[in-house]
Each structure stands twice: as C-alpha cells, then as structure tokens.
Structure 1
Amino acid sequence: MSQQNVTLRPVQDGDLDAFFAQLRDPQAASLAGEVFEDPNDRQGFDAHWRHLRADESVHVRTIEIAEQGGARVVGHIRERTVSDEHRVSFWIERACWGRGITTQALGQFLHEITVRPMIARVPRHNKPAVVVLRRNGFHHVGEESGYDAARGRVVDELVLRHA
C-alpha cells in the first residue's frame, strides 16, 4: 500500500456532483451500510446533503487526493450521533479502492474529530471497510441484523468501536 497525498476539508457545493456520481455506482452501493432508496433521485440527494451540512452536530469532510493538475474529490467521511452513538461512515469512489486512501482519510479524521467512543456499523460482506477500520484501531464489539427498507431485505452488520 503506497502513501497517497490525502486531504480532508469541509464539504463545498461543488463536491456534491462527485458524491452523487459515486453514490450511483451499483458495485459500491452494494457494499454500503446506508443507501438511498432511489440512487437517481438528485433532489432527495441534495436535500439529504443540505440537512447534513446544516446540522452542527454532524462532522463531515470531503476526501481529496493530489493528482497532476490539482486535487480530485474521491469521497467523503462523516461522524454523526445516531441513537446516542457517535457513528463514523465513509464513501470512496471505486477507482480508489485498495490504494490506502480510505485508511489514511480515516486516520486523519480520527485525529481531527476526537469524540469517543466512535462506532462503525458495516455490512458483514464489506470486508475492505472492516480492514480500514481495524487498521485505525477499531475493534469488533458485536453483530446485529436489521431490515433495510431501501434494499428491501435484512442486512447483517458488524459493529466496531474505537475508544
């Protein structure tokens, strides 16, 4: 795994086009813990991001990598409180998988956002996300199953914790 020049920064309006395109990748969506019921619904997507960005309790950052000619938006990472848990989640475009970018971004994010414990809930079949979390000090603390209305099926999740 080579080192990449990974930067986290506040989300800007122009980032949303990249996020929307990333969300619509069916292979990436199949690994995600949270998905939109209709990934082609740009209005719903924009409303979701307006809500996230307006909520002062949500910490969300754009993930960029340096490339020739400038920086490129490759994903996002966030922490928000859900049911009294500080939950972290991340999304990285598929072209960047396996390059260490997500591992670096999560490490930077954990340094910046210091609320603990932080919880990650990951679909059992998303083994790469579990690797990223473990490399950043998360430990397996449980397993849960729940109905996912957007997918129309039960999803088995692994629960990991960072103290």
Structure 2
Amino acid sequence: MRIRDVEDDDVELFFEHQLDPEATRMAAFPSRARDPFMAHWAKIRADRTALMQTIVADGRVVGNIVSWDQSGDREIGYWIGRDHWGRGIATEALALFLGHVKSRPLHAHVAVHNAGSIRVLEKCGFQRLAAQENQPLAADGIEEVAFILKA
C-alpha cells in the first residue's frame, strides 16, 4: 500500500467509488452526478491549501485522502472503494498521510454509524471530542462524531 499525488485518471475511479450505495450510506454523503463530481474535484485540486493523495494497494487505485482548511480548522477525510474495505488500507493510508500533513490540530467528522471509519481514526491517534463539544446533528441532519488529532 502506498499514497501518491492525485493524477487525472484517478478522479474517474474516485467517481466510480462514490457511486456505490453502501459506501454512500456508510459515509452519510450522497453521491454526485458526473459533472458536479468532476467540478468538485477540480475545485479541490485548484485549492492551494488542500493536500490530497491517491491511495494505491496491490497496484490499483483504491481511494483518496484529503486535508483542507474549513472555517479556521484543518479537516481530513478519506474514501476507500468498498471492494477494499476491511483490509487495513484506510488505517495505513491515514498513518502515511499524517506524516505529510504537519499542521495540528487536525479535525475529522464521521457519521455515528460508520464504526469502521471511527476505528481508523482512533488507531491513528485521533481523540473523540466530548459529547458536549459535538454538534448533535450536522447541517444535513446526519448525526456525527467529531475527532481531533492534537499532536
């Protein structure tokens, strides 16, 4: 498993990953049609503050990991194609990525039902914020758990 810079062809695979209904349910994030998805990734790739990497396992693109500035916080997120879940890829990719992202603290938000992603963050040293620090519902009505990595 390795991470590398995002290449143009990778974005097409990212698009395919986010079409999976089970993946979007777990992420609590709706899939996008092709044009809005490609426009979203063009915006990410043009953002000089965003750090992004493609995740490669067994010689195949299996996902992506991104960090960006949002409302004064440094956020982090990742997406692994469902065919590659349960193999430790997200944990390994996040651990590698954390070596590239030097700013701290880092913030992450995960749907409460996404136990796999919660475990990935915990294994990589993120701490769950106290319940009173969590917003009970995200703006879209999805209940989330907030995490922070301080060091």
Q: Does 1:54 align with 2:46?
A: yes
TM-score, length of structure 2 as denominator length:
0.93
Shift >3 Å, 4+ stretches: 33-36
Q: Please show how residues 37-116 of structure 1 align to structure 2 within 5 Å.
A: 39=32, 41-66=33-58, 71-116=59-104
The one of 105, 108, 117 equivalent to 1:120 is 108
> Cα offset for 1:16?
1.2
> Cα offset for 1:33?
4.8
Paired-residue identity, %:
35
Q: Whole-Å Cα distance in 1 between the matches of residues 3 and 146 of structure 2?
A: 25
Gaps of 5+ in 1: 1-5, 149-153
Q: Whole-Å Cα distance in 1 between the matches of residues 139 and 4 of structure 2?
A: 34
Partner of 2:16: 21
* 1:104-141 C-alpha deviation (Å, 9 max, x unpaired): 00000001111100000001111100000000000001
Write the letter of the residue equivalent to 2:69.
T
TM-score, length of structure 1 as denominator length:
0.86
Q: Does 1:10 align with 2:5?
A: yes
> Cα offset for 1:147?
3.1
The structure whose residues are more often helix, as a share, is: 2
Q: Whole-Å Cα distance in 2 between the matches of residues 134 and 146 of structure 1?
A: 21
Q: Whole-Å Cα distance in 2 between the matches of residues 143 and 121 of structure 1?
A: 9
Q: What's the RMSD between the two structures over aligned residues? A: 1.1
